[in-house]
Amino acid sequence: MTEQRVRAQRHLVPHFTPGAAWRSDSLPIFERADGCYLYDTEGNEWLDGLAGLFCVNIGHGRTDLAEVAADQMGRLAYATNWGNAHPPSIEAASMIADLAPGDLSEVFFVSSGSEAVESALKFARNYHLSRGDEGRYKVIARNWAYHGTTLGALAVTGIPRLRDPFLPMLWDGVRHVPNTRQCTSPPGTPVADLSCVRAIEEAILAEGPETVAVVIAEPVQNGGGALVPPDGYWQELRRICDRHGVLLVADEVICSFGRFGYWFASERMGVVPDMITFAKGVTSAYQPLGGVAIRGELVEAVHDSPMGAYVHGSTFGGHPVATAVAVANMSAMRDEGLMEHVLANEAGMAESLAKLADAHPCVKEVRGTGFFYAIDLCADRESGRDLSPTQEAGLRGGVLGGFVREQRMTIRPDDRGYTGLAISPPLIADGTVVEDLVDRTDRVLERTVAWLAENA
């Protein structure tokens, strides 16, 4: 066991990792990365099939971004956006406003996705208050959606395993409604009549529209496994929110900055929400940065109201180094044609992954679009047999993770509303990388089929 692994196990508290897994002799320690590949301290090469955590969109090892960070540190390492401003945050906000759909012309920066979500919720409350609409504070969110883990964001997250231990600490203003995969309407139902659409308006009406501040949803929901909505779904959300004076927030912490071939997935959905939360890909994870893009007139309404201010802020929001890196990252993504690359290659990736489904009876369904997919597992597709409770517990409890690790790659074994694998490579992945990703995933599924037979 390497000395670094021992020290990690003794001193470093892991995120969301069971103790037994952290204590494993095979805990990888990554020390460098390049393009779509990571290298551990034992000299092994790993394929990064998850772009870190859906965030290293431009790929690893970009020394040009490192140089921008070093230069900014030398020039102005720190200043706030509290009563003053600085060039990198001005430049980053202007670029994001230009790239955002419709009139989302104002940007508030924070340092993570959870903070971005909380900032959107607080802005909504602030906006309603500034108009004298004092009763509005409730939030409508969807089952199995992940919106972050700090207590405010966790209240909105719809994943029981993450929420339940902390329930006494969570505020009770959130109502969760079915996501698009939980629709019970028969095929051919007009989108406005789908049960998962009706459920949103029914929740608003049940609570009393005058108490509801916000509807929040991801354009393509990650929790539940790459849930692509039916055509027209977002237009219906927009209509419902407008009808009841509720603000619509697209949580694009994963979906923005190219994951679906657009700067913002709302553009792909053809909708202009009132706010878009972002993080991860805005800097391709070369710096921690998150934020909210907000419709200009809403910000003006707050500033011009007796309240006069958005009563929210943080020390590192809009940090000069993080925003300078964001500008460099967005410029490079634009100049190198990453949006075009995703749009040109998404069909190929979808096709290769669909072939895996044909080849392995343990694949129930492959879902997704852009550079973002989920492989949903079952015991046997032909006979329609689902995983038994024991099989599900085994796969979720480390078996699937072990198979992925054997292949030295970082796609994600997932247990949020389905049992399967989440795949989301860096956006620079070309045909060769995609082939490598599909081959390794093929071997994971082969191992899974054999394990299911042994554990029937």
| Closer residue to ligand PLP (CB): 40 or 251 | 251
Tell me how far, at minimum, the Cβ of 143 lies from ligand PLP, in Å: 14
| Closer residue to ligand PLP (CB): 51 or 254 | 254
Tell me how far, at minimum, the Cβ of 146 lies from ligand PLP, in Å: 5
| Closer residue to ligand PLP (CB): 117 or 293 | 117
d(CA 268, CA 409): 30
| Closer residue to ligand PLP (CB): 146 or 373 | 146
| Closer residue to ligand PLP (CB): 72 or 221 | 221
Tell me how far, at minimum, the Cβ of 443 lies from ligand PLP, in Å: 27
Q: Is 308 left (phi over 0), alpha (psi -120 to 50) or beta?
A: left
| Closer residue to ligand PLP (CB): 412 or 440 | 412
d(CA 143, CA 123): 23
Provide the b/e sequence for 266-278 (b: ≥16 CB within 10 Å). bbbbebbbbbbbb
| Closer residue to ligand PLP (CB): 124 or 378 | 124
Full DSSP string of 350-406: HHHHHHHHHH-TTEEEEEEETTEEEEEE-SBTTTTBPPPHHHHHHIIIIIHHHHHHH
Secondary structure class of 299 (helix, strand, coil): helix
Q: Look up residue 47 and give its DSSP letter.
A: E
d(CA 127, CA 353): 44
Tell me how far, at minimum, the Cβ of 452 lies from ligand PLP, in Å: 29
CB-based closest residue to ligand PLP: 113
Tell me how far, at minimum, the Cβ of 110 lies from ligand PLP, in Å: 9
Tell me how far, at minimum, the Cβ of 118 lies from ligand PLP, in Å: 9
Q: Is 22 left (phi over 0), alpha (psi -120 to 50) or beta?
A: alpha
Cβ contacts of 173 within 8 Å, gap of 6 or more: 137, 138, 139, 155
Tell me how far, at minimum, the Cβ of 148 lies from ligand PLP, in Å: 4
The residues that touch ligand PLP, with contacts defined as CB under 6 A, are: 112-114, 117, 146-148, 218, 222, 251, 253-254, 279
